Structure 1
Amino acid sequence: MKYKSNNNVVYSCKYHVVFCPKYRRPVLVDGLDERFKQIAQQVADGLHFEIIEMEVMPDHVHMLLEVDPQLGIHKAVKRIKGRTSHDLREEFPWLMKRLPTLWTNSYLVSTVGGAPLAIVKQYIENQKGV
């Protein structure tokens, strides 16, 4: 197991995160999915956390994140959802007509814990085939 560190903490905190557009509408298509990935990576780089794996489906997003415990998973998800909502609704005006807000308020977060990282990555990669 590899550990990361900042000035105060040595950690290995990996989370599986899933969230959906409002009303689970299948709007993450036609280039919007690729742009989502770019914006999410910019957020991760800015806040210094790692996106290990990411799969964007038309009606939901799966992510495997490694987040500094001092930042917290809540702040990481909140920033991803906030920034992507703002930028995507600005770049794709048709979203404004389809949805009052891009994302639901809720999301699933699960610690990876003892599960082998390769298994979780494989699960997320295989979501496209389901």
Structure 2
Amino acid sequence: MARQVRTSPSAAYDLGYHVVWCPKYRRPVFGGRVKTRLEKLIQAKADERGWEIVALEVMPDHVHLFVKPHPKNSPSYVANQFKGFTSHHLRAEFPHLRSRLPTLWSRSYFVATVGAVSAQTVRRYIETQYERAPKAGGHA
């Protein structure tokens, strides 16, 4: 992946975050229409904030996202923007998510910064999640 330096009036930057988060109790609730809607909501939030999504993979029990935000947005802010926005909309649109889970997302998340050298590696890792998914009964 070639380095893409973005600019704003006060900064030039090439910053990426690999963010992973799970539903409460790591329940496998993301399939079918819920998965499709979650992907659209994540894209909508990124578009609203002006963030670039490089790679996204919604697994049944977790989400992998490689996003390039503005440097003024901290990793915790980015993760919480996606989690809060998607939880609000998914729980309103899919009542079974309200009845099965007290909250949609667990409080925790993983985030790592991604440099230009390893960006392709992160993208390949996210895009091949299903190839590496554990067999039934296993954990990721």
Taking structure 1 as the reference length, the TM-score comes to 0.95
- What is the identity percentage for the equivalent residue pairs of Structure 1 and Structure 2? 43
Name the CA distance, whole Å, in 2 between partners of 1:40 and 1:80: 6
Contact conserved, 2:14 with 2:116, CA < 8 A, in 1? no
Cα deviation code 1:75-109 (max 9, x no counterpart)? 22111100100000011001111100000111000
Asked if 1:51 corresponds to 2:91, the answer is: no
Q: How many residues align?
A: 130
Specify the alignment match of 1:85 in structure 2: 87
Specify the alignment match of 1:30 in structure 2: 32
- Greater displacement, 36-45 / 113-122: 113-122
Taking structure 2 as the reference length, the TM-score comes to 0.88
Name the CA distance, whole Å, in 2 between partners of 1:100 and 1:65: 28
Name the CA distance, whole Å, in 1 between partners of 2:9 and 2:73: 13
Asked if 1:40 corresponds to 2:39, the answer is: no
Secondary structure of 1:123's counterpart equals: helix
2:50 alignment partner AA: H
Structure 2 unaligned regions, length at least 5: 133-140
Name the CA distance, whole Å, in 2 between partners of 1:91 and 1:29: 14
Specify the alignment match of 1:100 in structure 2: 102
1:65 alignment partner AA: V
Contact conserved, 2:91 with 2:98, CA < 8 A, in 1? yes
